[in-house]
Amino acid sequence: MMRKFFRMIATIAAFSAIGTAWTAQAQNLLVNGDLESTPADVYYDGFDPSLADDVPGWNLFLGAADGSYVLVNGVGSGNTDVDMGNGPAGGGLETAALSRPAVIPGNSYTATATYDNYFAPSGASYFIDWYDGVGGLLGSDGGLLADANGLFGYDPYGQIVTVAGIAPGSAAAAGVRFTSGNPGYNGLAADNFTLGAIPEPGTIALAMLGGCWVLAAVRRR
């Protein structure tokens, strides 16, 4: 009985090591990525620039001020509604400058979010933006998002989108940017923004090797 007990403990420890490696991928580096820290509804339409930084961890922006808006629902709702007019830069929300997490050049990162269009395509795009040590934009990974649910399916908090990229050689920080731009003011809802590091294959392999070593040692005993 005791032998089985210790074998079970060893098994849990081994696969806990593997799980720890994968946790690095799931860890969210963003501040207020789920928007639950937003104290109240923030409605930004460009007419009051002071509202642009009222959502902790985020900056709100517009591609066109006429009829466009970014609405971040407050405490308890945890979702973002974005309805933009067409513009060269789009409009939406992005990681605030002081909330950009540090990154390691050459490492892989992934960003996820949940979103869906209200009715018609909204021109939504999602990006990982890379910055140098003084905040200069080095480049972006990501682009236009497809709507897997189609025009007649609406699942804004279940439809997950993912973008991935490798931090450039001179990158020091990163952020995410979610934009929308279309001539028909079609809206969307988005939430649960994440940015995390993808563990190197060698790290995962070492964790699995360590787990197998523990299991083998227990079996020998």
Helix (H, G, I), strand (E, B), or coil: what is residue 2? helix
Of 71, 93, 52, residue with least CA distance to 178: 93
Band of pLDDT at residue 113, cut at 50, 70 and 90: very high
Q: Shortest CA distance to 82 belongs to which of 148, 149, 181?
A: 181
CA gap 142, 127 in Å, rounded: 4
**pLDDT at residue 61 greater than cutoff 60:** yes
pLDDT classification of 22: cutoffs 50, 70, 90: very low
| DSSP string computed for 121-172 | ----EEEEEEE-TTS-EEEEEEEEPP-TT-TT---TTT-EEEEEEE--TT--
| Tokens read off for 25 | 């991928």
Top pLDDT among 177 and 68 is at: 177
Average pLDDT, integer, range 39-65: 87
Between 205 and 178, where is the model more confident? 178
The pLDDT, as a whole number, for residue 215 is: 44
Across the range 19-48, mean pLDDT stands at 77
Say if residue 21's pLDDT is above 90. no
Length of the chain: 221
Return the pLDDT at 8: 40
More confident residue, 139 or 40: 139
pLDDT tier at 218 (50, 70, 90 boundaries)? very low
Residue-wise pLDDT for 74-96, tens only, equals: 776 666 776 655 454 567 899 99
Helix (H) or strand (E) holding 112: strand 108-117
Model confidence at 169: pLDDT above 90: yes
- pLDDT category at 176 given cuts 50, 70, 90 is very high
Average pLDDT over the chain, rounded to whole?
A: 78
pLDDT at residue 123, rounded to an integer: 82
- Residues forming beta bridges with residue 195, ordered by sequence position: 111
φ, ψ for residue 52 (rounded to 5)? -60, -25
Residue 24 — very low, low, confident or very high, per pLDDT cuts 50/70/90?
Answer: very low
Task: For 22-87, give the DSSP string.
Answer: HHHHH---STTTTSTT--S-EEE-SS-GGGGG-STTEEEE-S-SSS-EEEE--TTT--EEEE----
Strand partners, 135: none
